[in-house]
């Protein structure tokens, strides 16, 4: 038996003011994205903003549905928008925040596993890491350099990339 230990690394900033200017500005865009959250069921608004290499900002917010599993998280709304509209403009960073009137959020909300898996797909596709910034209203901001810090056991199987096996 071998016991493995995995260390992850992220930076905690006490407030958004400590972030560098581009990241601070991206957080302000994520706050704007909250306005379009459609969350009548959970009443939990999530806003995401992605900064592309060109400087373009892409927004996402959670979109719920009365058939609950048909809804989608803010992160995936934004990521799929990038994939569909700006496939050749690499994603540099993603800022995510959440708000609710139901209770106080005092810690950044971590993206769900499905969103991290989707993020990993785009990192792989563009061959560049995507910085992740998670923050909440009156709490700290957490910054990770790549999804790998977040989800070390993300699923990836190069064998599924048929062209790498020389098949059609």
Binding interface with ligand THU (CB under 6 A): 39, 42, 44, 46, 62, 64, 71, 73-75, 111-112, 115
Q: CA-CA distance, 163 to 33, in Å (whole number)?
A: 38
To the nearest whole angstrom, how small is the minimum distance from the Cβ of residue 36 to ligand THU?
Answer: 12
How many Cβ atoms sit within 10 Å of the Cβ of residue 87?
A: 11
Active-site choice (18, 25, 75, 157): 75
How many Cβ atoms sit within 10 Å of the Cβ of residue 46?
A: 27
DSSP reduced 3-state for 137 = coil
Q: Which tokens in the block code for residue 110?
A: 């971590």
From 77, 142, 153, select the one nearest 113 (Cα to Cα).
153
To the nearest whole angstrom, how small is the minimum distance from the Cβ of residue 142 to ligand THU?
Answer: 14
Return the number of the residue (5 or 148) whose C-beta is nearest ligand THU: 148
To the nearest whole angstrom, how small is the minimum distance from the Cβ of residue 115 to ligand THU?
Answer: 5
Verify whether residue 123 is a known catalytic residue: no
Beta bridge partners of 135: 141
Instruction: Give me the helix-helix angle, 74-85 and 113-126, nearest 10°.
Output: 20
Return the number of the residue (64 or 92) whose C-beta is nearest ligand THU: 64
Return the number of the residue (71 or 83) whose C-beta is nearest ligand THU: 71
Q: Which tokens in the block code for residue 7?
A: 């260390």
Return the number of the residue (57 or 73) whose C-beta is nearest ligand THU: 73
Active site residues: 75
């Amino acid at each position: 038996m071998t016991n493995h230990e995995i260390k992850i690394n992220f930076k905690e900033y006490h407030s958004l003011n400590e972030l560098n200017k581009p990241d601070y500005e991206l957080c302000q865009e994520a706050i704007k994205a909250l306005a379009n959250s459609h969350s009548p069921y959970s009443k939990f608004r999530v806003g995401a903003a992605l900064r592309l290499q060109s400087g373009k900002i892409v927004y996402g917010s959670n979109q719920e549905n009365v058939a609950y599993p048909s809804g989608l998280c803010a992160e995936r709304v934004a990521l799929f928008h990038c994939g569909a509209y700006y496939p050749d403009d690499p994603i540099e960073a993603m800022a995510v925040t959440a708000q609710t009137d139901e209770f106080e959020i005092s810690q950044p909300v971590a993206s769900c596993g499905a969103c991290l898996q989707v993020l990993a797909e785009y990192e792989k596709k563009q061959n560049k890491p995507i910085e992740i910034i998670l923050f909440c209203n009156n709490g700290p901001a957490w910054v990770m350099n790549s999804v790998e810090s977040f989800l070390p056991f993300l699923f990836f199987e190069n064998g599924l990339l048929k062209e790498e096996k020389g098949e059609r």
